[in-house]
Amino acid sequence: DRSRRLPPGPKGWPLLGNLPQLGPKPHQTLHSLSKFYGPVLRLRFGAVDVAVASSAAVAENFLRVHDSNFSSRPPSSGAKHIAYNCQDLVFAPHGERWRTLRRMCALHLFSGRALERFRHVRAGEVARMVRGLAAASSPEGTVAGVDVGGMVNACAANALGLAVVGRRVFDDADCGAEEFEGMVVELMKVAGVFNVGDFVPCLDWLDLQGVVAKMKKLHRRFDEFLDKLIAEHRALTNERDMLSMMIRLKKEEEEEEDRNGGMLTDTNIKALLLNLFTAGTDTTSSTVEWALAQLIREPGLLFKAQNELDSVVGRARLVSESDLPNLPFLQSVVKETFRLHPPTPLSLPRIAAADCEVDGYLIRRGSTLLVNVYAIGRDPASWPDEPLAFRPERFLSGGRNEGVDVKGNDFELIPFGAGRRICVGMSLGLRMVQLMTATLVHAFEWRLPEGEVPEEMEMEEEFGLTLRRAQPLVACPLPRLAPEAYL
Ligand code: HEM
């Protein structure tokens, strides 16, 4: 009976299954395996069945046709030890609490109106970053170079921090979070590890990779930081940010007789804040870093993007968000970056609530679904024109992938996932990536530090929940706009 056939996949080890075969870059290993076994791959991680989707058609089957069957995430040590035992939004099981948290974010942080409310904040933080870069440049451009990713990361985190908790979270001396950046990076690293104990229950207590110990330690640091923020906010009288709004909603809920199962707890609030900071900073900034690296590597593309910006924005001011719709080439650069460097290469896992059939194969209840967004972005069936080359033109008029977008409808390009658990912060993430990339390209000429040449730039990846550059991008910015644009 074909419908009872399990998907093909490599034989695993006793007890551990395929875990030891994943290697340091699981997205690449799974990509190679899918070339051999096909776009629906079955693995076993310890006691857990894993289905890996590696083509647009299969991803659509899972995330559109069977979306409701895959609407929760599998249990994991990250969910337990970092995300307050699933009291957050990212790991909440599909149900009332997930819906409440999601609705709250969608309405108060990511709706068109909410985005407008904080537009000036983003613009201010981007201008601040530009000033920092301008100050770091020397007229000859022969300085050692600046850590572009670090600057972009601080900008994204601070813009988010101001909207969510009313303050910058990087380089703000009295915030008590000087190490905040390091904490997020560390969190993404540990959250990306396939922890043996998650899949082989009898080995859980051993914490073989030391991941759980790291998670618990990190969690304590985050928790202290969040407690402090909440305590401060209770004393505030004006509602200036998302956190004060949550505290008010919670209070109102408590005052109501009938609580309608709303049940926002302090822990939910902390867990949600943690989600926003971790899901929203590294993903955004690493995309910008990759985009700029690709453009520096191919000066012809950088030149083209700058020409577009000069003709739309001119050279007297910085780019603003309202310019973005008029920058089709820049938007294609961003799409192409998401295609080749998806920030979360294996998306976020889902779990099968019941048996189902995908592509003629049985996917058993309890299976973990991994969508290999990285492999889908390189699949020649979806990307006929030089799938491994950085070619933004493919999205433009006349290109083979004209009109393809990242918003969860075109399954060949799903950096934000798709279906009901699609990234809730997509509108903000996309806008920040576009704005920061456009600004860096427009406001500066970019040179590599002395002795380096574009063709030989290192483009290695370092795996984690987010796919960062193994070598941070270090480059020298040279202002190219009228001096008043930098004031
Ligand atoms: C370039 C930027 C970003 C990328 C590529 C990205 C990617 C993703 C992906 C792949 C998922 C899982 C979707 C699925 O299961 O199908 C996700 C979920 C999520 N993202 Fe993002 N994200 C980005 C920015 C943001 C931002 C700015 C925020 C908030 C400040 C955010 C918050 C979340 C949350 C809370 C979830 C969980 C949603 C749920 O489970 O219902 N993300 N994101």
16 lines ligand 1 (CB under 6 A): no
* Ligand 1 mean position, distance from CA 184 (Å): 15
* Ligand 1 mean position, distance from CA 71 (Å): 14
pLDDT confidence of residue 439: 98
User: Does the pLDDT of residue 466 top 90, yes or no?
Assistant: no
233 lines ligand 1 (CB under 6 A): no
192 lines ligand 1 (CB under 6 A): no
> Taking residues 254-278, what's their average pLDDT?
79
423 lines ligand 1 (CB under 6 A): yes
Residue keyed to tokens 């390091």: 182
| Residue located nearest, by CA, to atom 40 of ligand 1 | 90
The rounded distance, in Å, linking the Cα atoms of 34 and 346 is: 13
The phi and psi torsions of 476 (rounded to 5 degrees) equal -105, 115
What average pLDDT does the chain have?
A: 91
* Ligand 1 mean position, distance from CA 283 (Å): 8
Choices 1.10.630.10, 3.10.105.10, 1.10.10.10, 2.40.50.140: CATH for 71-344+415-486: 1.10.630.10
* Ligand 1 mean position, distance from CA 42 (Å): 25
| Token reading at 301 | 């593309």
Find the Cα–Cα–Cα–Cα dihedral 381, 65, 373, 344, rounded to 10°: 170
* Ligand 1 mean position, distance from CA 477 (Å): 30
pLDDT confidence of residue 247: 87
428 lines ligand 1 (CB under 6 A): yes
Helix (H, G, I), strand (E, B) or coil at 156: helix
User: Does the pLDDT of residue 240 top 60, yes or no?
Assistant: yes
| Residue located nearest, by CA, to atom 19 of ligand 1 | 423
* Ligand 1 mean position, distance from CA 109 (Å): 13
1-70+347-378 matches 71-344+415-486 in fold: no
Quote the strand ranges of 115-156, DSSP E. 146-147
pLDDT digits (tens, 9 = 90+) for 386-419: 999 999 999 999 999 999 999 999 999 999 999 9
* Ligand 1 mean position, distance from CA 130 (Å): 26
145 lines ligand 1 (CB under 6 A): no
Find the Cα–Cα–Cα–Cα dihedral 103, 109, 110, 114, rounded to 10°: 120
pLDDT bracket for residue 88 (50, 70, 90): very high
Closest ligand 1 atom to 349 CA: 15
Domain ranges in the chain are: 1-70+347-378, 71-344+415-486
Q: Which helix (H) or strand (E) holds 465?
A: none
pLDDT digits (tens, 9 = 90+) for 96-155: 999 999 998 998 889 999 999 999 999 999 999 999 999 988 766 556 789 999 899 999
The rounded distance, in Å, linking the Cα atoms of 29 and 23 is: 7
DSSP codes joined into one string, 376-420: HTT-TTT--S-TTS--GGGGSTTSTTTT--SSSSSTT--TT--GG
334 lines ligand 1 (CB under 6 A): no
348 lines ligand 1 (CB under 6 A): yes
User: Does the pLDDT of residue 176 top 80, yes or no?
Assistant: no
* Ligand 1 mean position, distance from CA 182 (Å): 20
| Token reading at 263 | 């049940």
The rounded distance, in Å, linking the Cα atoms of 41 and 24 is: 19
Nearest to 324 by CA among 478, 427, 444: 427
pLDDT digits (tens, 9 = 90+) for 57-74: 999 999 999 999 999 999
* Ligand 1 mean position, distance from CA 241 (Å): 20
Find the Cα–Cα–Cα–Cα dihedral 358, 361, 365, 366, rounded to 10°: -90
70 lines ligand 1 (CB under 6 A): no
The rounded distance, in Å, linking the Cα atoms of 191 and 193 is: 6
Eight-class DSSP state of 65: I
The pick from 416, 427, 435, 465 for probing ligand 1's pocket by mutation, whose C-beta has the most ligand atoms within 8 angstroms, reads: 416
Q: Is 155 annotated as a binding residue?
A: no
DSSP codes joined into one string, 274-299: HHHHHHHHHHHHHHHHHHHHHHHHSH
| Residue located nearest, by CA, to atom 43 of ligand 1 | 423
347 lines ligand 1 (CB under 6 A): yes
Residue 465: Cβ within 10 Å count:
21
Closest ligand 1 atom to 109 CA: 30
The rounded distance, in Å, linking the Cα atoms of 117 and 163 is: 9
343 lines ligand 1 (CB under 6 A): yes
* Ligand 1 mean position, distance from CA 279 (Å): 6
429 lines ligand 1 (CB under 6 A): yes
C-alpha pair distances (Å), 437 with each of 104, 117, 243, 334, 418 = 29, 22, 28, 8, 24
74 lines ligand 1 (CB under 6 A): no
pLDDT confidence of residue 309: 98
∠397-284-96 over CA atoms, to 5°? 105
Report the amino acid identity of residue 77.
S
pLDDT confidence of residue 141: 53
- Report whether CATH 3.40.50.2020 matches the domain 1-70+347-378: no
Residue of higher predicted confidence among 218 and 123: 123
> Taking residues 434-438, what's their average pLDDT?
98
The pick from 339, 341, 423, 430 for probing ligand 1's pocket by mutation, whose C-beta has the most ligand atoms within 8 angstroms, reads: 423
Residue of higher predicted confidence among 264 and 213: 213
Asked if ipTM goes beyond 0.95, one says yes
